[in-house]
Structure 1
Amino acid sequence: MELVINTIGRYVPARRLRLEDVDVDPPLAPRVLGAYRKFFGLERVAISDRPLGDMMVSAATGALARHGVAADAVDVLIHVHTAPQAWTHPVDLLPGICRRMGLRRAVYFAVHANHCASPLNAIQIGRQLLDESRRYALIVIADLTFTGILRQIPNTTVCGDAVAACLVSGRGPGALMRSLEIDYHGAHAKGPWQSVEDHARFERGYAPRLAGVMRRAIEHAGIDRRDLRWIFPHNVNLVSWRDVAARLNLRMDQVYTESLPQLGHCFGADPFLNWSFELDSLHAGDHIMVATVGLGAVFGAAVFRVLAGGGDE
């Protein structure tokens, strides 16, 4: 079955903290702050003072309203999160969201095993679940940095709070998925707890592996890299994206990095948040890509073609 992302709702906190004011563990040394600003392109981080459930409801209701879809048309609700523990036991997050939004028909579950690459797995699952009897799925990509440890990936980025809610179905308007590629590198399954030697190997392989999976997604979509209107990336840092773009002979103005200085890395939501900021500037026929990496290590990319009615025609 074909899969279309009909629209994307978002919640982004108005509160943006300077890097030195973000409570991270371990604290950022002055020299690290300087490097993050000068080389990584980070300035501020979005930090929410609202509970995760409120953030998710705001983004999801925004997606439904934007597309003009009633809540009872949603048959599947998928919560995608990076941190294994997203909510305090024993509160049931997803049943509460279904009650608040009136999602009476929806089956619900969560996906997180591939960390920041998990949204691509959710898209795969959504495509399998949707059929003639199941009309729409809501894929809500949401994390809350409730500890100082969650607020940074050491020597890489600082993490913030935000939500992207993708309304998907088997028909337009919206953006039709043309390809989706995922590579798994289980040698790095320990993530931040891997040995110094394994981490060094991960760093050396990061850009070529990401460039490789992006190249395959472009090829399998049957387009040329120059056909891409936008690449919507995960907001890790500018250094890594300059490296990846150079390997693919892409211009950096094709890679959407405008939100990175003000939001930080909002986990798996990043590519879809970035896409949401440009929804109204897209035209029918435009090709766009989302690209991301999950600790573990999982590299993924997907290409979409904007359909008539899926952007500013």
Structure 2
Amino acid sequence: MSPDIGIAHVSVYLPPRVDDVGSWGQRTGHSDATVMQLERAGVRYYCDANGQTAISLAASAIERLLLTSGVAPRAVDCIVYVHTLQGSVAPPPHSLPGLLCDRFGFTNAEAFSFAQQHCASALAALRVVRAVFIARPRMKRVLLVGADVMPLESERAMQGEGILSDGAFAAFIERGAAINRLLAITVHASGLGWRGVLANDESRLAAQHFFAARRLIRQTAEQAGFTLAHIQRILPHHLDLPAWRRVLDSLQVPQDRLFADNFARIGHVTVSDAFINLAQCEGLVAGRPLLLFARGVGGFSAAALLVR
């Protein structure tokens, strides 16, 4: 039996330095065609860490979470750190989750990281968190935190689908949460994109991404006992806005259900997109479901359905 858990609190941290894709293209030597392709994908701006590290961004998100939630550090039972980029971890023998425990005094918390599903890792980690709550009936609160910083400015473009932005989120997953109750999680791993961006053939997988997204959205709603008509908002990853429009049309879901504000405003913040959207999407109605979605290179996708 699944535990009654939910995302009780969410905080995000986006670096204050904001740049536009046109300036980025000129500065890094990318062609006008590349910039135009990114703009067609819905991109306008992105956040630049400007020397801040992943642990700095994660710590800033956690500081905001502790402040807004009023939760004491000793009341955190477990920490799960998620990321996509290999540089977003502390070098051995250090552990980034361990450093966060030391910094904030999470003296009662176990800690580990999860990154195997790339940008879908934060949502996929919810399955792990749910399993931990099942295995440990006395556990009350898990801190899920994600952060990424792109070390190479010239490599921010994601095959013309979007641009990598630096940022972090932190969320408390709590037993018996009164808001954002987790009803269903589904994941997809095709293995077809195992070479990731190195193969430069992500466009070949566009159809697979399209059908995987359609299937996951349907499957997640059905698993929770809802139809697509019940879903009040879809909170997406910030890649290829036109493709998202086609997905909604194919599902006969009204376009205004897609929360698309952050595509242009902040770009793709790897593992954090869905949680940034959850924190910033206004007008969510209590008692109605909403769906979070993420896709990572390598053929990974994940969806989670919550009830507000």
Q: What TM-score do the two structures reach when normalised by structure 2? A: 0.91
2:167 maps to what in 1? 162
User: Equivalences for 1:234-245 in 2 at 5 Å?
Assistant: 234-245=237-248
Q: Which moved more, 1:155-164 or 1:90-99?
A: 90-99
Structure 2: segments with no counterpart, 5+ residues: none
Structure 1 residues 295, 75: closer, same or farther in 2, change over 3 A?
same
Structure 1 residues 284, 200: closer, same or farther in 2, change over 3 A?
closer
The reply on whether 1:146 has 2:151 as its aligned counterpart is: yes
Structure 1: segments with no counterpart, 5+ residues: 307-313
1:117 maps to what in 2? 120
Structure 1 residues 177, 34: closer, same or farther in 2, change over 3 A?
same
Alpha-carbon distance between aligned partners in 2 of 1:27 and 1:253, rounded to the nearest angstrom: 36
The reply on whether 1:249 has 2:245 as its aligned counterpart is: no
Once the two structures are TM-superposed, the CA of residue 105 in structure 1 deviates from its matched residue by 1.0
Q: Which moved more, 1:80-89 or 1:227-236?
A: 80-89
User: Equivalences for 1:170-249 in 2 at 5 Å?
Assistant: 170-194=175-199, 196=201, 199-249=202-252
Does the 8 Å CA contact 2:4/2:177 hold for their aligned counterparts?
no
2:44 maps to what in 1? 43
2:110 alignment partner, one of 93, 107, 110: 107
Does the 8 Å CA contact 2:37/2:160 hold for their aligned counterparts?
no
Q: Which moved more, 1:269-278 or 1:64-73?
A: 64-73
User: Equivalences for 1:6-21 in 2 at 5 Å?
Assistant: 6-21=8-23
Does the 8 Å CA contact 2:87/2:151 hold for their aligned counterparts?
no
2:69 maps to what in 1? 67
Does the 8 Å CA contact 1:164/1:272 hold for their aligned counterparts?
yes
Amino acid at match of 1:214: I
1:133 maps to what in 2? 138
Secondary structure (helix, strand or coil) at the match of 1:186 reads coil
Alpha-carbon distance between aligned partners in 2 of 1:119 and 1:69, rounded to the nearest angstrom: 21
Q: Any idea what the Cα deviations from partners look like across 1:227-265, whole Å, max 9, x if unmatched?
A: 212111000121121111111111221111101112111
Does the 8 Å CA contact 2:13/2:169 hold for their aligned counterparts?
yes
Amino acid at match of 1:134: M
Once the two structures are TM-superposed, the CA of residue 284 in structure 1 deviates from its matched residue by 2.0
CA RMSD of aligned residues (A): 2.0
1:310 maps to what in 2? none
Once the two structures are TM-superposed, the CA of residue 24 in structure 1 deviates from its matched residue by 9.9
Query: How many residues are aligned here?
Result: 302
Structure 1 residues 7, 106: closer, same or farther in 2, change over 3 A?
same
Identity of matched residues, %: 22
Alpha-carbon distance between aligned partners in 2 of 1:27 and 1:276, rounded to the nearest angstrom: 35
Q: Which moved more, 1:160-169 or 1:25-34?
A: 25-34
1:264 maps to what in 2? 267
Q: Which moved more, 1:82-91 or 1:13-22?
A: 82-91
Amino acid at match of 2:294: T
The reply on whether 1:83 has 2:88 as its aligned counterpart is: no
1:4 maps to what in 2? 6
